[in-house]
Structures are given as structure tokens and as C-alpha cells.
Structure 1
Amino acid sequence: MNDAPHLSLALDDLPAHAGSRFGPSSWRPVTQEDVDLFAKVTGDHNPIHVDAAFAATTPYATTIAHGLLTLSLVVPLMAEVFEVTGFGMGVNYGLNRVRFPAPVPVGSRIRAHGELRSVQEIPGGFQIETPVTFEVEGSEKPACAAELVLRYYR
């Protein structure tokens, strides 16, 4: 499956693990069906994503995934390699920074890895910052680099 650590941490143990790395996740294929469904839900029908004939005329030569689709895949990919237990509620508090340095061609595979960079105590729980990088198999540049801010409450 993967050869790097799966972090499974109890809520109150988070501070002791700041700086720990997790991942990579397993490789996940990105299909045209994924892209088309994302386009339908979001209303983003840019032809670079959904029109194979148009996409063939671009420097990418094929359709590519929406950047925000790639970012949204953090949920299943990160769940494979990072887990917090013993909390009552967890929320996505936001993002400090997001970049999409390279495209994700339809038919390629991506995976994610990251770090529990910082842990801050907040009323009722902890806020963590977790930089996550999405790799495209065979590409030198990452598809996405994002710093997630998550909150876990008792």
C-alpha cells in the first residue's frame, strides 16, 4: 500500500507530534468521469477540463483535472495516512496557502503526503497546520501544495 508512516494520534497527543510527517497515500487515478462530475457540481465547464478535442490543441494535449478537484481529493488521500482520534468534532478551518504548480492530466494518478507542522491549543481543542503536497506519478513538479488549517474539538 504505502511505505511511509500512517499517523494515528489521540487528540491530546497532537502537541507532542508537531513536526511529524505522514504519507504518502496510495496512488489514486483521476478519471474523466471525476472531472465531468466536478464540472457538473461546480458549474466550471472550462474546455481544458471537459472537451477532449479542445484540450488536444493545448500544450497539455489532453484534458486536465480542475485544481480545486485535486485539492478536494485531500479528504480521501489524507484519510489513508493521517487520523486524529478521541475528538467530538473536526472542521476544515481554512487554507493558508494553495498553489497548483503542475497539471493533473486525466488518466494520471496522484498521491498525497504531508506534515503536522504546528499544533496550537484553542478553546475546547487544538488547531493544526498541515502542509500537504500532491504528486502526479511521473511528474517532477507537484500538482498541488496546500497548507490546511484544521480544528479538532473535544
Structure 2
Amino acid sequence: MNAVAEKVMFDSAASVLAAVGRQLGETEWVQISQERIQQFADATGDHQWIHVDPEQARNGPFGACVAHGYLTLSLANLFLPQLVAYEGLTMGVNYGCEKVRFPSPVLVNSWIRGSGEVIAATQMGDDGVQVTIRITVQIKDQDKPGCVVETISRLFFVGNN
């Protein structure tokens, strides 16, 4: 598989603000197993047959079980720390998401990875910044991604940066 890009390091609000438009590279590949899909179904109570019944799904519209869209979305939280790191961060919180889309189903046993881009940043006080990072969940050997989401985080750094 392809080499993973080195994490982008941010050490101040100013460094995040200066990164708008920056590509963040790609993460490691992760396989979406039936076990992972089943665990997500159990955690959320979404046991729709297209996710958890391999026999019925084989005869369904996708020819196999597919990952829940929200499972694919939740993996943005796995991918973000593989793309960025912070030094001097006193607190970081997830603030929300924008423009979530699921262009292509993620079939069971598919390999996916995240790629990122800093698309917006706004200063918050002296030492904080709100940053929007677009995460694209790529599916190996597929043209369309499984998910595209704009994640919004609020980051606060030590001192007046």
C-alpha cells in the first residue's frame, strides 16, 4: 500500500490560520470488516439487513453488506489525528460538521483511508482558532469517495499565539 504522509504539526492559532488551503496528505488504509459493521450496528441499534445480513445483502442492491454511512463518517475521528498533530494545545473540541455526503457505498471488506485539506480558519480570542478540515474518505480502487465531510474544531493554544 502507499506510504502515509507525515502529520502536519500546528503549534499556534497563527500556524493554523496560515494553513488554509493546505493539503494534509493521506492516512493509513483501514479495512471495513463485517465485525466492525456489526459492532457499529450493535452500538447504534441500526441492524438493517443491508449492513448485518450477508446472505440477504448478497442478493440486494449492492451485492454485499455495506458499512453504515454514519460508521464511515465516524472514521473521520480516526483519520484526523493521523493527518494533524498539535504542540502547545491546551484544549481542542469538536464543534460540528458541515456538508456531509456519502457519494459511494463502502462495501464490506473494502479498504478506506482519509485525506484532508484545511479549508477555513477563524481566530477566536487571543489564543484560539476555529478550523474547518475537509476529510475525504477514499475507497481503494474506486473513483468516488465513501464520505466527504467538513469537520469543525475549536483549538486553544498556550499563550498569546
Give me the whole-angstrom Cα distance separating, in 2, the residues matched to 1:77 and 1:145.
12
Residue of structure 1 in register with 2:121 after alignment: 119
Letter in 2 for 1:112: G
**TM-score w.r.t. length of structure 1:** 0.94
Of stretches 4-13 and 135-144 in structure 1, the one that deviates more from structure 2 is 4-13
- Whether the 8 Å contact between 2:25 and 2:115 is mirrored in structure 1 is yes
Match of 1:146 among 145, 149, 156: 149
Q: CA deviation at 1:3?
A: 4.9
Unpaired stretches in structure 1, ≥5 consecutive residues: none
Correspondence for 2:132: 129
Is it true that 1:78 corresponds to 2:80 in the alignment? yes
Q: Provide the residue aligned with 1:29 in structure 2.
A: 31
Identical positions, percent: 35
Structure 2 segments unaligned to the other structure (5+ residues): none
Cα distance in 1 for residues equivalent to 2:77 and 2:12: 19
Matched with 2:9 is 8
Secondary structure class of the residue paired with 1:117:
strand
Count of aligned pairs: 154
CA contact (8 A) 1:30 1:107 kept: yes
Greater than 2 Å deviation, 4+ residue runs: 1-6
Distance 1:2 1:80 in 2: 13
CA root-mean-square deviation: 1.4
Describe the superposition over 1:37-74 as per-residue Cα deviations: whole angstroms up to 9, x where unpaired: 10011011111000011101112111010011111111
